Amino acid sequence: MLGFDGCFALSCYWVLCFRFALFKKMELILRGTFELFVLFA
């Protein structure tokens, strides 16, 4: 069983990973949209 500090660190780690994954996904979507726009412009 983890202590309170361990649980807190783990939750912070998961939030950071989730935000990073979300950011990368948004970046890929924006880049793809931009490339499509350039192709059809």
Total number of domains in the chain = 1
14 within 8 A of 22, measured Cβ to Cβ = no
Its domain, for residue 29, covers 1-41
Q: Specify the pLDDT at position 1.
A: 55
Q: Specify the pLDDT at position 19.
A: 94
User: What would the two tokens of residue 12 be?
Assistant: 């912070």
What is the dihedral sign for C-alpha 24, 30, 31, 36? positive
User: What would the two tokens of residue 25 be?
Assistant: 């996904």
Percent of the chain residues topping a pLDDT of 90: 51
State if pTM tops 0.75.
no
